[in-house]
Structure formats: structure tokens, C-alpha cells
Amino acid sequence: MVCHCTDFFRMAKGTKTAREYGRVNTKELIELAKLGKTTPTPKGFGQVEGGGTPPTDLEKDIRTLKEHILEFSKFKNDFDFAEHPYFGKLDQERWTKLAVYHLNHHLNQFGV
């Protein structure tokens, strides 16, 4: 999940792209999230299905995630974020809310 979380930040800045866009009902996705249920992963980002960045060394992967979080936190309000595969064009506030939700979801899975 460390690599999967890092891929989220790669997606936000456009260095990793999904293999499909707009193929989910975003209202349904938001409802699943509100209920604390698992939401679909964009094709090209799934660790199990393939496409996600493969893990190397856990400590190295954690450092890489931290670097991406720090980089993301320094983006200016006018940063040109990449299009999200499900939600389309998002501003910094929406990307940040999504990042916090996504990280918390996976950290909670592992009791962190």
C-alpha cells in the first residue's frame, strides 16, 4: 500500500496516468467512501490487478512516499494538477482533501 499511496501523488502531478477515465458513477463512489467502504481503484494503479508501482524495499518505499507528500504539500494554489480519472479536473483544495482521505484510509487499514 505504500507504493499505491505514492502513486496517488504521482497521479496528482501527472507523472503516472490511469488506463481509463470517467467510467464510474462519482456519486456512488462518494457514497461508498462516506460509508467507509472500499472504492474502485483506477485502472493502472491497482497493486493486485497490476499497473501499480511494484514495491522494492519497505524503508526505501516509505522514504519515497514521504518525499512525494512533502512535494505535494509545497504545490502552490495555482499548480496545474493532472485530471483525476474519476473526478476530472480538481483544484488544490479538492486534491488535498482527496489525498488526506486516501492516506487515512490506507493507514487505518494497517493500524497506523
Looking at residue 91, the DSSP 8-state letter turns out to be -
Instruction: Read off the pLDDT of residues 56-74 as tens digits, 9 standing for 90 and up.
Output: 999 999 999 999 999 999 9
CB atoms within 10 A of CB 60: 11
Return mean pLDDT, the chain.
89
**Cα–Cα distance list, 75 to 44, 62, 83, 97, 103 (Å):** 24, 21, 16, 14, 18
C-alpha closest to that of 90 among 12, 4, 23, 10:
12
User: pLDDT at position 8, please?
Assistant: 94
User: pLDDT at position 108, please?
Assistant: 87
Query: Which residues, in sequence order, are CB contacts of 90 under 8 Å at separation 6+?
Result: 81, 84, 98
Domains contained in the chain, number? 1
Instruction: Read off the pLDDT of residues 13-48 as tens digits, 9 standing for 90 and up.
Output: 999 988 877 777 878 888 888 887 778 788 887 777
User: pLDDT at position 41, please?
Assistant: 81
- Please report, for the chain, how many H helices and E strands are present, in that order: 4, 0
Range of the domain at 70: 2-109
SS3 69: helix
Report the DSSP beta bridge partners of residue 51: 46
